């Protein structure tokens, strides 16, 4: 039976799960009446996903509009058939010319 629960759950979303699936899981686990997330994380992305419950859903837009920090791991010199990290590598190129200085200059 669904219950009224108000607040924010900070979920460490694993790779392979959509943000909406994460919300559904939290809602089901806590038997919450109302739940929503504060912005979509790509299914391949991991990270902190704030899930608003009950009355806290009224503030999801404020959290969505707030400043955020993202960290990423990049791998230079490869091309995949899908254009992302999950595809098969179809081409490789030397990255010897990629330096910190060159990166800073853009």
Residue 104 token pair: 């800073």
Residue 54 token pair: 């009950």
**12, 42, 62, 67: which one is catalytic?**
42
Known catalytic membership, residue 84: no
CA angle 93, 95, 99 (to 5 degrees): 160
CA 27/CA 105 separation, integer angstroms: 46
Task: Name the residues annotated as catalytic.
Answer: 42
């Amino acid at each position: 039976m669904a219950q009224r629960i108000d607040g924010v759950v900070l979920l460490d979303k694993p790779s392979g799960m959509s943000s909406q699936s994460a919300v559904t899981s939290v809602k089901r686990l806590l038997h919450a009446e109302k739940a929503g997330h504060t912005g979509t994380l790509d299914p391949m992305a991991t990270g902190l996903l704030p899930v608003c419950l009950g009355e806290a859903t009224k503030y999801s837009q404020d959290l969505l509009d707030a400043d955020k920090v993202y960290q990423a791991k990049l791998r230079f010199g490869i091309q995949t058939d899908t254009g992302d990290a999950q595809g098969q590598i179809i081409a490789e190129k030397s990255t010897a010319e990629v330096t910190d200085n060159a990166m800073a200059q853009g």
